[in-house]
Amino acid sequence: MKYDADTSLNNLMSTSPITIHSWPRAILHLDADAFFASCEQAVHPELRGKPVITGKERGIVAAASYEAKARGVQRGMSLSEIRKICPDIIVVSSDYETYSLFSLRMFEILRRFSPDVEEYSIDEAFVDLTGLRRSFHGPYGVIAQKMQEAVETELGITVSVGVSLSKVLAKIASKHNKPHGLTLMPGKEIHHYLEKLPVEKVWGIGPNTTAFLKKLGITTALQFVRKDEEFICRHFSKPYYDIWQELNGISVYPVVTESKGSYQSISKARTFTPPSGDEIFVFAQLSRNLENACAKARRHKLMAGRLIVFLRTQEFKDTGVEMKLTRPTAFPSDLFGPLREGFYRLYRTGRFYRQTGVVLADLKAEGRIQYSLFDDQAEIEKAVKVYSAVDQLSEKFGKYTVHHAASLPTKRQVQHEGDRENIPKRKDNLFKGENNRQRLGLPVIQVKV
């Protein structure tokens, strides 16, 4: 394990506004290393130390192990490209169910150390360690190391950890020594990490802001930090002022412990191989997207005011259309009209498509929806009852127990035919009481190595 925790008391240059206190707060960021590929190597020990990629079902790299990355493999490359530079590559189908189980276990382990855990993504977490030194009888570095070791020992994957005064700094620290690194960034040492860090590597700063910063003569994170508050407020909006504060060691972004229940949008997409030019089949794939997106919206008691439809051709070219709905809804029966309209505005006979997708946007809580006098209340109440029953049946008997006839043509062929129809082993070994649509959320059992 690489460990970087220089806690010497070097004084900052007087021009730096960074706080001189080492630990007014302690925020940890944990980032799993090559998570999907690492999960495959943990479940299948024979893959350890070998170049492994996931995404066989899509025909492109979804995730690559560090052994594969060392050979030049990058995310998004096609399988034909990969085999030219790495003939011995091992390609497996993505098993998102197993990855989710690993993720759940990882967050459970982190909560044994602190109740303040934010599930930032499937393989990332923020943890507030402030005030825990007394409970664990040791400094924050020791607590972070124990957390890292617990995850790696119990799950068989490696993670990189960074600890600093704010979320932005912690995220920088976790990437400082990937993979399998542990970096502490106390207040007195922040400038060492920022002086050579390109400003575009800072979480929250995108390419347009990077270009603007370069026009102002700012190319590193430390140059950005050392600008005074008046300069930042004059040239930047509040989100970038917040980032400036976070880089200065002032914790602005809280660690959000609540499970995500609010969304700005919900998107669902389906890739299928081989690509198809069959109008009915492609629309059926789109219909399935709509049903999945609406089911998620209903689960979170949300309704959409806009519908976005997109198609991706065999040549990876995307086209899309956005439609405003006459009233917010999360019921597919209300949306099939706009869906079909959008589909025919995009679909071209003679072209082959490999992916379809929908986005439910302008989401509002269902309790806040105000219907107009022209809305048919009886029809709305009928739809509420119908889809409530559909959701109950899906919960009891599995996904797609009841679905719309428009989605039936998806059953004409498997999602991925030929070489890519490689079912993950987890789905080949069902537990008693499971079926292909209803699975038990059992933890993944790991043997300590």
**Cβ density class 228-263: b for 16+ within 10 Å, e for less:** eeeebeeebeeebebbbbbbbbbbebebeeeeeeee
Nearest Cα neighbor of 342 from 307, 312, 317 is 307
- Catalytic one of 57, 124, 152, 246: 124
| Per-position DSSP letters for 179-212, written without gaps between them | SSEEEE--GGGHHHHHTTSBGGGSTT--HHHHHH
Query: In angstroms, rounded to a whole number, what is the distance separating the alpha carbons of residues 131 and 449?
Result: 33
What does DSSP assign to residue 116?
A: -
- Whether 163 contacts 140, CB under 8 Å: yes
Q: Which tokens is 344 given?
A: 């025919």
Q: Which tokens is 239 given?
A: 């989100």
Going 429 to 433 to 434 to 440, the CA torsion angle's sign is negative
Cβ neighbourhood burial of 123 (10 Å; 0-12, 13-18, 19+): buried
Provide the H-helix boundaries in 302-409: 332-346, 377-397
The CA-CA-CA angle for residues 338, 340, 343, to 5°, reads 110
Nearest Cα neighbor of 313 from 355, 350, 349, 280 is 355
- Whether 298 contacts 387, CB under 8 Å: yes
**Which H or E run includes 232?**
helix 229-235
Q: Looking up tokens 């806040």, which residue turns up?
A: 368
- Whether 102 contacts 157, CB under 8 Å: yes
In one letter, which amino acid is 385? Answer: K
Let me know if 124 is a catalytic residue.
yes
Number of Cα atoms under 13 Å in the Cβ half of residue 409: 13
Which residues are catalytic, by number? 124
